[in-house]
Amino acid sequence: MASPDWLNKGDNAWQLTSATLVGLQSVPGLVILYGSIVKKKWAVNSAFMAFYAFSAVLICWVTWAYKMSFGEQLLPFLGKPGPSLDQKFLINQATLPATTQYYHNGTVETAGIAPNYPMGSLVIYQFVFAAITLVLLAGSLLGRMNFKAWMVFVPLWLTFSYTIGAFSIWGGGFLFHWGVMDYAGGYVIHLSSGVAGLTAAYWVGPRLKKDRESFPPNNVLMTLTGAGLLWMGWAGFNGGAPYASNVLSSMAILNTNICATTSILIWTCLDVIFFKKPSVIGAVQGMITGLVCITPGAGLVQGWAAIVMGVLSGSIPWFTMMVVHKRCSLLQKIDDTLGVFHTHAVAGILGGVLTGLFAEPELSALFLPVTNSRGAIYGGSGGMQLVKQLAGAGFIVVLNVIVTTIICLLIRLVIPLIMPEEQLLVGDDAAHGEEAYALWGDGETYDESKHGWYSDDTTHHRKGANTGVIGQLNV
């Protein structure tokens, strides 16, 4: 029967819509953002790293990784691997078999998670979360990682890092049952990608010195376009996390936008105060830190708390990026291309801790498996919640440092992690045989012998045999 009794068409429609919105954050959102925020010679490579990761994750996800993240428990931190491709599995009601919460005496405290839509909707929704984690991680490695090494890194990291974090906190693992709060991925996605990105950047090595010293965006307007897709797609990110179209969805989407806009304004004001100019790229960074910070508590905190979180997400990551990073010799040695550590790891921990402070008891009861959960400001068990939040963050940090290091060391035994020198010097054309902007003739790349002398102003001169200049082409 196409519409069984357990199916709620509204919930199913919203879950599929949320999955699509989160998917759009990666493709085309981060594909566009990465391709435009980097130096022109790395536009294709950067966009392609995101495009590839999104594609590769899906095949791994439905073949073995989904059940490792949300299936039956194998270990307290990992589910049993297996395929998610059979129609009998995909058309039945969605369930997360390891999520039933028990009291110490063995009686049921909170029933297991069983959304009112098919398993197929849950598989695709959780896929786009897994995919964007790898796409975000790529932001630390742009402008030098060997693409062949990236092709191997993606499935290995998904299998041995992401699945452990997802099962432990969301899928019914030990942190889930302890009551660690991570509403929509502040730890599972953002802290993971930020820490793993920084770790991988250490092992891959830095960009060329001239690329590190001068790395201007090749298209600021398209950077804003990609950022806008990321921002609007966050409605599916946080709005779909309750696995239903319910009151928490509404609360989460409103809080998401409140925190993001507050963070943008704070970051921009700090740029004006200390650098005398409002930076568009800075505003994008502030947008991202606001979205990341609210994610672990989007449906668990009140609107006033979302404003406070926005103020802190617009200032603390700004301080770590603009001040601490420049004074820390270790961070200076590690080439984190887009500052993913600051925008995702720092903002992710900040959001997790603030959620442990501000989580409202009534909202928490609507979402969390452990009854009487609450933030520290509400008294009772709230103080212990802060301990849980810090411990959960510590687990994710240690997991990703260790696993990412092992993966990078294993890959480099077979494939160099960094591109050859000639590819680093040339960029996209050497790495892929393609360039982002082919503006000459019938689309061929610029060639001085055919197109004449060129400079980055609006007038391009062609040398003539007798006069030296035979004409001007205005573009």
pLDDT at 456 over 60: no
Omega within 30 of 0 (cis) for the link into 4:
no
Q: What is the pLDDT of residues 96-128, one digit of tens each?
A: 999 999 999 999 999 999 999 999 999 999 999
The answer to whether residue 278 is domain-embedded is: yes
Per-residue confidence band for 363, with pLDDT thresholds at 50, 70 and 90: very high
Q: What is the pLDDT of residues 129-181, one digit of tens each?
A: 999 999 999 999 999 999 999 999 999 999 999 999 999 999 999 999 999 99
Q: Which residue has the tokens 């568009």?
A: 280
Residue numbers of the domain that contains 175: 9-428
At 460 the pLDDT is 40
Per-residue confidence band for 444, with pLDDT thresholds at 50, 70 and 90: low
**Would you call 20 exposed, middle or buried from its count of C-beta atoms within 10 A (0-12, 13-18, 19+)?**
middle
Is-contact 262 307, C-beta < 8 A? yes
**Residue 51 corresponds to which tokens in the numbers above?**
């495009």
**Rounded to 5 degrees, what are φ and ψ at 239?**
-75, -25
CATH number of the domain that residue 118 is part of: 1.10.3430.10
Reported as type and span, the H/E element at residue 151 is helix 147-157
Residues in the chain: 475
Tell which wins on pLDDT, 469 or 398: 398
Task: Give the pairing type, strands 471-474 and 73-75.
Answer: unpaired
pTM above 0.85, yes or no: yes
% the chain with pLDDT above 90:
91
Is-contact 141 339, C-beta < 8 A? no
Is-contact 38 207, C-beta < 8 A? no
Secondary structure (3-state) at 180:
coil
The answer to whether residue 58 is domain-embedded is: yes
Secondary structure (3-state) at 415:
coil
How crowded is residue 131: how many other Cβ atoms within 10 Å of its Cβ? 28
**Residue 189 corresponds to which tokens in the numbers above?**
């996605």
pLDDT at 217 over 50: yes
pLDDT at 463 over 50: no
Specify which residues 101 forms β-bridges with. 110
d(CA 396, CA 127): 19
Is-contact 245 14, C-beta < 8 A? yes
Q: What is the pLDDT of residues 32-57, one digit of tens each?
A: 999 999 999 999 999 999 999 999 99
d(CA 393, CA 387): 10
At 438 the pLDDT is 72
Specify which residues 79 forms β-bridges with. 73
At 469 the pLDDT is 34
Is-contact 294 310, C-beta < 8 A? yes
d(CA 375, CA 359): 4
The answer to whether residue 462 is domain-embedded is: no
The answer to whether residue 2 is domain-embedded is: no
Region 250-279: mean pLDDT is: 97
**Would you call 71 exposed, middle or buried from its count of C-beta atoms within 10 A (0-12, 13-18, 19+)?**
buried
Kindly calculate the radius of gyration of the chain based on its CA atoms and give it in whole angstroms: 24
Report which of 56, 363, 385, 29 is spatially closest to residue 225, judged by C-alpha positions: 29
Reported as type and span, the H/E element at residue 15 is helix 9-24
d(CA 202, CA 212): 15
Q: Which residue has the tokens 């959780």?
A: 126
The answer to whether residue 260 is domain-embedded is: yes
The contacts of residue 69 (CB under 8 Å, 6+ apart) are 79, 126, 130, 162, 163, 166, 167, 170, 171
Q: Which residue has the tokens 């409605």?
A: 235
Q: What is the pLDDT of residues 181-205, one digit of tens each?
A: 999 999 999 999 999 999 999 999 9
Is-contact 33 226, C-beta < 8 A? yes
Report which of 190, 317, 223, 340 is spatially closest to residue 263, judged by C-alpha positions: 317
72-78-82 Cα angle (round to 5): 55
The answer to whether residue 219 is domain-embedded is: yes
Per-residue confidence band for 421, with pLDDT thresholds at 50, 70 and 90: very high
Note every long-range contact of 463-468, with CB atoms under 8 Å and residues 24 or more positions apart, other chains counting: none
Per-residue confidence band for 1, with pLDDT thresholds at 50, 70 and 90: low
Number of domains in the chain: 1
**Residue 275 corresponds to which tokens in the numbers above?**
């650098």
DSSP 8-state code for residue 441? T
pLDDT at 464 over 70: no
pLDDT at 440 over 90: no
The answer to whether residue 468 is domain-embedded is: no
Per-residue confidence band for 447, with pLDDT thresholds at 50, 70 and 90: low
**Would you call 18 exposed, middle or buried from its count of C-beta atoms within 10 A (0-12, 13-18, 19+)?**
buried
In angstroms, how far is CA 108 from the centroid of its own chain?
35
Report which of 251, 256, 194, 210 is spatially closest to residue 231, judged by C-alpha positions: 256
The answer to whether residue 140 is domain-embedded is: yes
Alpha carbons within 13 A on the beta-carbon side of 291: 24
